[in-house]
Amino acid sequence: MNGSAIERVFRAAGGRIIAALAGRFRDLSLAEDAFSESCVRALTAWRERGMPDDPAAWLYQVAGRVALDMLRRQRTRRQLAPEQPPAEADAEDVMTADSYVIPDDRLRLIFICCHPAVAPDSRAALTLRLVCGLTVTEIARAFLVEDTALAQRLVRAKRKIADAAIPFELPSPEDWPERIEAILSTIEVAYAKAHEDAAGLSPHAGFAAEMLHLASMLAELVPDAGEVHALAALLHYAEARRPARVDAAGVMVPLSAQDPALWRRDLIRRADSLLAAAVRLAPDAVRTLQARLQACWCARSSLSDPAPWRRIRDIYDELLLVRDDPIVRLNRAVAVAELEGAEAALAELEGLDGERLAQFGPYHAVRADLLTRTGRIEEARLAYAVLLALDPPPAERQWLSGRLGELTSRLH
Amino acid sequence: MKYALLIYEDEALYGPDKSGPKIAEIVGKHMTFTQELGARRIGGSGLRATSAATTIRTVAGKKTVHDGPFAEAKEQLGGFYLIEAADLDEAIAIAKRVPVLQDGSIEIRPLLEP
C-alpha cells in the first residue's frame, strides 16, 4: 500500500468525517484537529496491519475518540472534573466498522463555512479546506496568497464562527434563499478563479474539479433548489469546454471558434440533465438562463454547425428582463453584431456606461473587435492596447497580441 | 448566548437634539418591538444625540475630557438592545426586525460573558 493511496483515502473521506465530527462536537477546530490526528495514527496502524475494510469508518471512530480525549484534556486544564473516559472500542470493532456509522453532515458544514457572517474571501477557503480536504498550501497557491496569510484567514474565520455562535443546525426555511445564495456565490467566485486562465496553467485550475464536485454534491443534498442545479450545470458546461479553450501553441480560442469535437461529452451530458432540473424548478432564475446560453453552444457537434447566435440573443433578451446590467447588454451586443452587423452592435455599446466597464476586459475586447469590423482600425488598436494594459492571463494575452499585430500590419 | 444589537442611524433625521416629530414615531415602534421581544430582551435603551456626548481620551496614561462622540461618522450609535438568543442566526433574525426610520445599520456583537 503506497502513501498516495492513503492520501487519496484521507482526502475522499475528510469532508464527510470533519462534517460529522463538527456536528457532534459543535467545534470546527476540534473536528479538524481530531481528523488530522486520526490520519497520523492511520499511517502507522495501516502500515502495520493493512488497510481496514472500511477506512473511512476506521478514521471516524478513531477521530471521535481523539476528540473526546482532547475535550477531556481541555476540561482538566480548566480544572473541571474530568469526565469518565468512554469505553474503548476494541481493535476488532474499528477494523470492521461500516461507513453507515458516519452521519452525513456535509450540507450543515457547507452552510457554516459559507455563512454570510463569515468574510466573503474566507468562505471559499474554509469550504475547500474542511469540505473538500485541500491543504492550506494548495488553497494558498490557488488564491495567490502566502501560506501563512491563508492559515491566518482560516483561523480568523473559525474563531468568528465560534465566538459569534454561528449555529451548527441547518438554517430555518425562511432563511434558505439568502443562505443558499451565499453558498452559490462562494462556489461561483472560486470557480471563476479556476476558469480565468484559459490555458488552465494557473494554479487555480487544479481545484476547478473540486468546485464541480462540490456543486454536484450540493445538487444532490438540496434536490429541490433550482439555482443549485443551474450553477452545477454552468460549471459542467464550462469545464467540458476546457480542452478546446487553447490551441496547440497555448493561444486562447474564442468560444465560437472552439472545435466541439474536443469538448468533453460526458460532462455535457451531465450538464444537460442538471439544466433540465433547473429549468423545471427555477425557469426564470439568472443562473438557469446563463446555463441555457452555455447549453446552446455545447449543443454544437462540429464547427460546420451554424453558430446559435439567434437563440443566444433571444436568451439574452429573457435575461434582460430579470437582470438588466451593462454586462448582459455587452454580451447581447456580441450576438447582435453577428445578426445585424457590427454598426448596430457598436450603437448598443455607445449606450453603456463606459466608466463602469473601464476595468472590465471583455468590454474592451468586444469594442476592439467591432471597431475592427467597421474599419476603425486606429480606435481598435487603442482598445486592444487598453485591454493589454489590464494584464490578462497568458493565453488571452497571446491571442490579443496576435490581433493587435494584424491590425498594425494592416495600417502599413 | 447574549448579544448587543447596536443601532446606527443618521441622527439628523430626528431633528436637533432628537426633538423632531420623527422621534415619537420611532420610539413607538421600539416600544412595540420591545413587547414582542418579551423575555429575550435583557436590556437596552435609546441614546441622546451625539451633541450630548462627552468622550474621555487616554493617551500615554494621560486622560483628557472632550466634547462630542469618539468618532465622527455619517451614522451614529443611537441606541442598543441586549438580547438573549440561541445562536447568531436567531440574533440576526431579531436584528432584522429592529426598527429603523430609513437607512441604518444594526451591528450584532456577542457579549464577552456568554
Q: How many CA atoms lie within 13 A of A302 on its CB side?
A: 1
| Helical axes A55-77 vs A28-49, angle rounded to 10° | 130
pLDDT confidence of residue B40: 96
How many other CB atoms are found less than 10 A from the CB of residue A205?
18
- Give the residue ranges of chain A where pLDDT is below 50: none
Q: Are A242 and A395 in contact (CB under 8 A)?
A: no
Helix or strand (DSSP H, E) at A31: helix A28-49
Q: How many CA atoms lie within 13 A of A351 on its CB side?
A: 13
Chain B: residue nearest A171 by CA? B89
Selected for mutation to probe chain B from A166, A170, A176 (highest B CB count within 10 Å) is A166
- Grid coordinates given for A193: 478563479
pLDDT confidence of residue A89: 55
Q: What percent of chain B is predicted at pLDDT more than 90?
A: 82
The whole-angstrom distance between A105's CA and the closest CA on chain B is: 18
Q: Are A29 and A162 in contact (CB under 8 A)?
A: yes
Amino acid at B29: K
Query: Burial level of A397, CB count in 10 A (0-12/13-18/19+)?
Result: middle
Of B86, B89, B108, the CB nearest to A175: B89
Q: How far apart are CA B79 and CA B34, in angstroms?
A: 13
Q: Are A31 and A25 in contact (CB under 8 A)?
A: yes
pLDDT confidence of residue A96: 62
In angstroms, the Cα distances linking A8 to A39, A330, A375, B82 are 12, 44, 56, 48
**pTM higher than the cut 0.80:** no
For A253-302, the pLDDT digits (tens) are: 888 899 999 999 999 999 999 999 999 999 999 999 999 999 999 999 99
pLDDT confidence of residue A206: 59
pLDDT confidence of residue A374: 93
How many other CB atoms are found less than 10 A from the CB of residue A78?
7
The whole-angstrom distance between A113's CA and the closest CA on chain B is: 14
The whole-angstrom distance between A171's CA and the closest CA on chain B is: 8
Q: How far apart are CA B66 and CA A300, in angstroms?
A: 72
**Between these two residues, A202 and B3, which has the higher pLDDT value?**
B3
- Grid coordinates given for A352: 453603456
Note every long-range contact of A318-322, with CB atoms under 8 Å and residues 24 or more positions apart, other chains counting: A318/A284, A318/A289, A319/A286, A319/A289, A319/A290, A319/A293, A322/A284, A322/A285, A322/A286, A322/A289
How many other CB atoms are found less than 10 A from the CB of residue A246?
22
DSSP output for A63-91: HHHHHHHHHHHHHHHTTPPPPPPPPPPPH
Q: How many CA atoms lie within 13 A of B45 on its CB side?
A: 3
**Residue B10 DSSP one-character state:** -
Residue for grid cell 433550482: A226
pLDDT confidence of residue A372: 93
Q: How far apart are CA A411 and CA B6, in angstroms?
A: 64
Residue B95 has pLDDT above 80, yes or no: yes
Q: How far apart are CA A380 and CA A398, in angstroms?
A: 17
Verify whether the Cβ–Cβ distance B92 to A169 is below 8 Å.
Answer: no
Amino acid at A8: R
pLDDT confidence of residue A81: 64
Of A163, A167, A172, the CB nearest to B110: A163
In angstroms, the Cα distances linking A33 to A37, A40, A67, A168 are 6, 11, 8, 18
Name the architecture of domain B2-110.
Answer: 2-Layer Sandwich (3.30)
Domain boundaries, chain B: 2-110
Verify whether the Cβ–Cβ distance B88 to A175 is below 8 Å.
Answer: no
Verify whether the Cβ–Cβ distance A165 to B88 is below 8 Å.
Answer: yes
pLDDT confidence of residue B82: 98
pLDDT confidence of residue B16: 84
Interface confidence, given as ipTM, is 0.82
For B33-86, the pLDDT digits (tens) are: 999 999 999 999 999 999 899 999 999 999 999 988 988 889 999 999 999 999
CA angle A291, A219, A244 (to 5 degrees): 40
Verify whether the Cβ–Cβ distance B110 to A171 is below 8 Å.
Answer: no
Beta-bridge partner residues of B59: B62
Chain B: residue nearest A172 by CA? B89
Helix or strand (DSSP H, E) at B83: strand B76-84
Selected for mutation to probe chain A from B5, B89, B94 (highest A CB count within 10 Å) is B89
Q: How far apart are CA A283 and CA A116, in angstroms?
A: 26
How confident is the prediction for chain A on average, in pLDDT? 87
Across residues B21-35, what is the average pLDDT?
94
